[in-house]
Chain A
């Protein structure tokens, strides 16, 4: 059973702080990794994709991947109240469908 694990939270940080969201996955052959943001009552929105070990930065967001440890994280710098949402980690493998396996999500609260 392929699994993606996230802490459900809520993770509460003050405005302006760095929020660190973590995710582990069980399938060693996973190749593609994604972070989605989902506001309450809305559909998921792609934040970052990462395919190789190391860091990938896009604005205030940095994704980090460590395939040896089967670990992927998302850092949000200068957190804003508008960042308050549920963050979903998603992993896809090598089968022909490239289906995504989603974690259950971490709820982030950014306090003004």
Chain B
């Protein structure tokens, strides 16, 4: 199988806090990792595409200075939500893919609640 680990699973913090979420591919090397956000009863929304060793590509409307992505190795990508506010509360999910047209495998997601 292809296992993707995401940590933490849940975060509750005060407004203005920065939150870091980790995404690891445990049993394969992921050339590309993706970060999604999902609001209740809505579909997945792609935020950014991250390739190891290069800058992330952000989707239109996603603030790159607010959502910092680092993909330092073939097994680890991190998303940092800087100065989070209540409107950033959502379900954040990462996925990883070996190469090209291989399937994306998803982490368990991080439920972020900003008070």
The number of residue pairs between A and B whose CB atoms lie closer than 8 Å in the complex comes to 46
Question: With a CB–CB cut-off of 8 A, which chain A residues contact B104?
Answer: 34, 46, 90, 100
Say yes or no: A98-B101 contact (C-beta < 8 A), given A42-B108, A43-B93, A45-B106. Answer: yes
Any B CB within 8 A of the CB of A25:
no
Once bound together, how far apart are the Cα atoms of A56 and B62, in whole Å? Answer: 37
Question: With a CB–CB cut-off of 8 A, which chain A residues contact B108?
Answer: 42-43
- Nearest Cβ distance between residue A107 and chain B, in whole angstroms? 10
Question: With a CB–CB cut-off of 8 A, which chain A residues contact B46?
Answer: 99-100
Partner among A46, A97, A103 whose Cβ is within 8 Å of the Cβ of B105: A46
Q: Produce 1/0 per residue, B33-46, CB < 8 A to A.
A: 01000000001101
Once bound together, how far apart are the Cα atoms of A105 and B41, in whole Å? Answer: 10
CB <8 Å contact, A102 and B44: yes
Any A CB within 8 A of the CB of B78:
no
Say yes or no: A104-B106 contact (C-beta < 8 A), given A32-B101, A97-B57, A98-B32. Answer: no
**What residue in chain B is nearest A97 (Cβ atoms)?**
B49
CB <8 Å contact, B109 and A43: yes
Any B CB within 8 A of the CB of A16:
no
Given contacts A88-B44, A97-B32, A97-B57, 11 further A-B contacts (CB under 8 A): A32-B101, A34-B103, A43-B6, A46-B105, A46-B106, A88-B43, A90-B104, A98-B97, A100-B46, A100-B104, A104-B43
Q: List 8 A-B contacts (CB under 8 A).
A: A32-B103, A43-B109, A90-B104, A92-B101, A98-B32, A98-B100, A99-B46, A100-B34
Binding site for A on B (CB under 8 A): 6, 32, 34, 43-44, 46, 49, 57, 93, 97, 100-101, 103-109
Binding site for B on A (CB under 8 A): 31-32, 34, 36, 42-46, 49, 51, 88, 90, 92, 97-100, 102-105
